[in-house]
């Protein structure tokens, strides 16, 4: 395989799934990825370990990377981190805004130190708004987005993550990698980096795009007009039964004789 990112250095501060997935995709394309870990290591090192300090899920998300331990809670750790960042073409992290500022990884400080660098950020619910500081894992993002119940089976009492797959995490990692590559192209032209952000909530919604528009082959807003009120209510009930577990759609018998799907 070719290595189009050969010569590009990525400094990754991310843990668990989404950020590390972005990093490993860039490493697969030839980038030199330096993973910065806290003193206890990436949290995934300790989940289902296959060897001391090496978790089963950690391996596929961090292969091809080099690793260094820095304690960003100390002045020495932040000093060494700043030196490392100055060598970067891309910086990745998944810290909430306040933690990023405390560690010297907020956009303003990074851009001032390394104007050419692209900064890729994974957040839970975005970096602005009432949930900006709220932490979240994949399951929480799936629940808030409705993904947990968007394809539930009849009779389900408890929402179950489809296939046990962390879909929000994985989608966020792919989306972030795509955005970082686009920003690298722009930086090559302008010499100035940009900030790319993907939230787990946005990623969970992104994989449901067709559900947001279509309902069992019927375009939303194109439900048939029914003249008889009883037929209208019966038809609305039929549609509603098929999407009872779908968080997006509720069917109503509208006063003008149409079935409203909303």
Of the residues 89, 138, 169, 211, only one is catalytic, namely 169
Q: 18-28 vs 167-190: helix axis angle to the nearest 10?
A: 50
Tokens of 74: 């100390």
Taking residue 197's Cβ as centre, other Cβ atoms within 10 Å add up to 17
d(CA 100, CA 11): 14
How far is residue 195 from each of residues 121, 131, 138, 179, 205, measured CA to CA in Å?
8, 20, 22, 9, 21
d(CA 172, CA 19): 8
d(CA 33, CA 251): 50
127 class by beta-carbon count within 10 Å (0-12 exposed, 13-18 middle, 19+ buried): middle
Our answer to whether residue 32 is catalytic in this structure is no
d(CA 93, CA 75): 19
Active-site residue numbers? 169
């Amino acid at each position: 395989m070719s290595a189009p990112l050969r010569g590009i250095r990525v400094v990754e501060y991310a843990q668990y799934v989404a950020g590390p997935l972005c990093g490993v995709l860039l490493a697969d394309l030839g980038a030199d990825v330096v993973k910065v870990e806290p003193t206890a290591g990436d949290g995934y090192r300790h989940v289902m370990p296959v060897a001391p300090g090496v978790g089963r899920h950690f391996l596929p998300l961090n292969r091809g990377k080099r690793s260094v331990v820095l304690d960003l809670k100390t002045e020495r750790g932040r000093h060494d981190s700043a030196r490392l960042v100055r060598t970067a073409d891309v910086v990745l992290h998944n810290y909430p805004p306040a933690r990023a500022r405390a560690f010297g990884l907020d956009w303003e400080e990074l851009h001032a130190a390394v104007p050419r660098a692209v900064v890729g950020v994974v957040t839970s619910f975005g970096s602005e708004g009432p949930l900006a500081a709220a932490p979240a894992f994949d399951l929480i993002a799936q629940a808030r987005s409705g993904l947990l119940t968007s394809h539930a089976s009849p009779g389900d009492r408890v929402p179950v993550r489809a296939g046990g797959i962390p879909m929000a995490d994985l989608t966020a990692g792919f989306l972030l990698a795509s955005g970082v590559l686009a920003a690298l192209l722009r930086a090559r032209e302008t010499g100035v980096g940009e900030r790319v952000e993907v939230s787990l909530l946005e990623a969970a919604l992104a994989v449901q795009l067709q559900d947001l528009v279509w309902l069992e082959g019927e375009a939303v807003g194109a439900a048939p007009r029914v003249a008889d009120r009883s037929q209208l209510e019966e038809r609305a009930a039929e549609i509603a039964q098929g999407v009872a577990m779908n968080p997006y759609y509720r069917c109503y018998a509208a006063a003008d004789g149409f079935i409203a799907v909303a």
